Amino acid sequence: MLRMSQERWDRRHLLGLDGLSANDLVDLLDAAEQYLPVVRGESRLEPPLAGRIIGNLFFEDSTRTRCSFTVAAQRLGALHVDLTASGSSVSKGESLIDTSRTIEAMGTSALVVRASQSGTPAMVARAVSIPVINAGDGRHEHPTQGLLDLLTIRQRLGGFEGRRVAIVGDIAASRVARSAMHGLTTLGASVDLIGPPAMVPRSFESVVGGPGRVAVGDDLDAVLGEIDAVMMLRVQFERGSDVGLDYRERYALTVDRTARLRPGAFVMHPGPMNRGLEIDAEVADDPERSVIRQQVTNGVAVRMAVLRALVL
Ligand code: NCD
């Protein structure tokens, strides 16, 4: 089990939700909540990061996370510079550290780093003297995704204590699941990790950040009527994951399974979705059950909160 605990959050970088206290998390969620009217275009902001430049270093593909950080920076009045691996000197063999230092030397105020290798943002953080935000590293963590998941759950349920959230699918390869697990358990919710045994290591039961517990299982049908929310994960084919023909039969969130959720229970997915594999299109688009678009909107607000907290 990969452990890269930050021990405690020193507010210099955001490398993971592991190590953040319940108070740290609630502060960020409260700040994000205040930014939501700005994200929805209902109010304007005296831009706190006017004149600043945020460097987006995306060494791995991304749609929503990269655009979301860009929109967040712009809503705060900052400019941004975008670097992607293809089309940059990374493809000429320049090291990620040299690239990061180059962008820092241009006067950027923070670096947002995504990479396919776990630990890359931590490595960059040691090499530069500006804040680094992990935008997803390999199979490790994706803290701003974790925060947007927490915000969405809090909006629907009002809180976390005594609540039960199932995370379903390719857990072993999922940085989204790891960050959600840390955040949810720290705030007092319990987490059911459900998937084929090869995708859900038993050792994850000991990954707890606080009062909530983590339970590992392989029977989605058994928990459907017990949970308050279900987070479906994409099968990470690009990280070597593969599934058999029975995957859909056992682990997909189908229309039929969704009908067996408790009233009020809701459906999350970080995107991008494999429609028809882990989730039915009708479920993803169900206006009552699905909060997938709300998650995206919340993502901008939490990234504004994180940038604001680290950059000023
Ligand atoms: C996730 C990621 O990149 O880890 N996507 C995202 O950031 N919204 C999940 C995934 O790729 O399956």
Record the tokens describing residue 299, joined without a space: 């993502």
Ligand 1 interacting residues, C-beta cut-off 6 A? 64-65, 136, 142, 145, 175-176, 234, 270-271
Of the candidates 167, 216, 161, which has an alpha carbon nearest to the alpha carbon of residue 189? Answer: 161
Predicted confidence (pLDDT) at residue 94 exceeds the cutoff of 80: no
Task: Supply the pLDDT for residue 7.
Answer: 57
Mutate to test the pocket of ligand 1, among 56, 142, 152, 179 (most ligand atoms within 8 A of CB): 142
Predicted confidence (pLDDT) at residue 38 exceeds the cutoff of 70: yes
Q: Averaged over 35-52, what is the pLDDT?
A: 96
Q: Averaged over 101-107, what is the pLDDT?
A: 97
Task: Determine the residue type at 219.
Answer: D
Q: Averaged over 107-113, what is the pLDDT?
A: 98
- Which residues, listed in sequence order, are joined to residue 112 by a DSSP beta bridge? 56, 133
**Residue 54's CB: how many other CB atoms inside 10 A?**
27
Taking the centre of ligand 1 as the mean of its atom positions, its distance from the CA of residue 214, in whole angstroms, is 22
The predicted-structure confidence for 230-262, as pLDDT tens digits, reads as follows 999 999 998 888 888 899 999 999 999 999 999
What is the spatial distance between Cα 250 and Cα 105, in angstroms, rounded to a whole number?
51
- With beta carbons less than 8 A apart as the criterion, state whether 29 and 147 touch: yes
Taking the centre of ligand 1 as the mean of its atom positions, its distance from the CA of residue 17, in whole angstroms, is 16
What is the spatial distance between Cα 122 and Cα 172, in angstroms, rounded to a whole number?
20
